[in-house]
Amino acid sequence: MKKSYQNIEDKRQNGSVWFNDLKRKRESGPKLQNKRYKAFGDSTKSVHSGQYDDPKTGALGTPIFQCSTFYLNDASYEAIEEGRGRDEMIYTRYGNPSQWSVQEKISSLENAESSIVFSSGMAAISSTLLAILDKGSHVVSSRDIYGGTYNFLYEDLDRYGMSVTFTSPTDIDDIENAIQENTKVLYFEALTNPLLKIVPIKELVALGKKHNLRVIIDNTFLTPYNVKMLDLGVDLVVNSATKYLNGHSDLIGGTVSGSRKLVDRIWPQLLKNGGSMDPHACFLLERSLKTFALRMRTHNSNALELATYLENHPKINNVYYPGLASHKQHELAINLLKGKNSGVISFEIKGGDAMAHALLNNLQLPKEATSLGGVESLISLPYNTSQASLTKEQQKAIGINDGLVRLSVGVEDIEDLITDFEQAINNIFKN
């Protein structure tokens, strides 16, 4: 029998239900089974957490729940009235078992109470910021952030009566000096693109606590395998699931993880923005995450070996990689990443942009593409991709020098990758 709705509007208005009631007791989040595997390692979590083995058929692995809506019942109506619509199967934009499954796996890997998956990384970023910020709010962020995020902060926040100040990603004093009375959020990328500067996360968290600010970190380049941001005191962590989390260059997605109370604030924004992840994409992501830890170990080890090779090559000017002792923040990398580092390398080749183009044309294994985190090595030139909107002078000002190449190192045999770079470099410099 349907519940009565005569008082629901009053309850919404006074905040006794729905997501502005931050005092409401919450469970950890929607799940299909109560197994979070907290005590296990990342490989075990990657395989087992969130997986839903169908009890009726005995099918091993989470099915694809490719449906838009579900049968309603008393539990559904009660959940809607009490502001718990996220916890019941009502409509796929609200939640779907395929979403719940992959969200549980993400939460397990992030050591988070709750997570949401989105149709893209930008959907995750924009929904999160719009949910956490209020009209009149101010954000402090980095000049070295993803172009889509920069455009959202610079161009769109003003339309909502909000503002942003861009600072150095590494200078805590510069960041603190940018804080205003109306600052609400510190938003940074853990590892910057393309020069791989490390944001001092622990100092940033301390700064957030000092000024009562939310700290939101985009951890796409490092992933929860290399560092678990929530364990360091970060309030919310976002990822482009398109990259390492999925790792196969075959879907677009995003995630946000944190406390259930904060994630509950973001969920209604997801509903309004319409950025929910399709069930089939959820299936692909949950499948891909089963090999996440395996892939990340190979990405990290391959990148370190290739970075070492490039640093010692006479035709390479500079290599930017936190695992190298030559990196300006190597000690911070050791402290933060515990030797795990990253799967991305940037380097400058002698001869400038012309030789960089020639290198890309002579490599056989890395694919020339703008993304990263795939099992295949992906290579691009930042000056005409991620930083293409900047003038040459602006590029120089932030360290984008002639001949800069960004390489996302895949899981190919490292001997083959080094051999490929050797032949390509020898070929373009033979004359």
pLDDT digits (tens, 9 = 90+) for 36-60: 788 899 999 999 999 998 888 999 9
Q: What is the mean pLDDT of residues 277-291?
A: 97
Catalytic residue among 228, 243, 260, 340: 243
Q: How many residues does the chain have?
A: 431
Q: How far is CA 159 from CA 154, 180, 203, in A?
A: 10, 19, 31
pLDDT digits (tens, 9 = 90+) for 67-95: 999 999 998 888 888 778 888 899 999 99
Cα–Cα distance measured from residue 224 to residue 354, given in angstroms and rounded to the nearest whole number? 37
Q: What is the DSSP secondary structure assignment for residue 37, as one 8-state letter?
A: -
10 annotated active-site = no
Q: How far is CA 116 from CA 111, 120, 231, 346, 404, in A?
A: 14, 12, 18, 31, 35
Catalytic residue among 3, 12, 24, 93: 93
How crowded is residue 5: how many other Cβ atoms within 10 Å of its Cβ? 11
Q: What is the mean pLDDT of residues 415-423?
A: 98
Mean pLDDT (the chain) is: 91
Catalytic residue among 52, 94, 146, 320: 146
Q: Where are the domains of the chain?
A: 8-290, 293-428
The most confident of 4-18, 52-66, 390-404, by mean pLDDT: 52-66
pLDDT at residue 282 is higher than 70: yes
Name the token pair of 395: 């590029």
Among 117, 137, 229, 235, smallest CA distance to 181 is for: 137
23 annotated active-site = no
**CATH 3.90.1150.10 is the classification of domain 293-428:** yes
218 annotated active-site = yes
93 annotated active-site = yes
First to last CA, the chain: 83
pLDDT at 79: 83
Prediction pTM value: 0.93
Catalytic residue among 42, 218, 235, 278: 218
Task: Answer with the residue of higher pLDDT: 208 or 37.
Answer: 208
Q: What is the DSSP secondary structure assignment for residue 156, as one 8-state letter?
A: I
pLDDT at residue 197 is higher than 50: yes
Q: How far is CA 56 from CA 25, 53, 286, in A?
A: 32, 9, 21
Identity of residue 412: E
The topology (CATH level 3) of 8-290 is: Aspartate Aminotransferase; domain 2 (3.40.640)
pLDDT at 221: 97
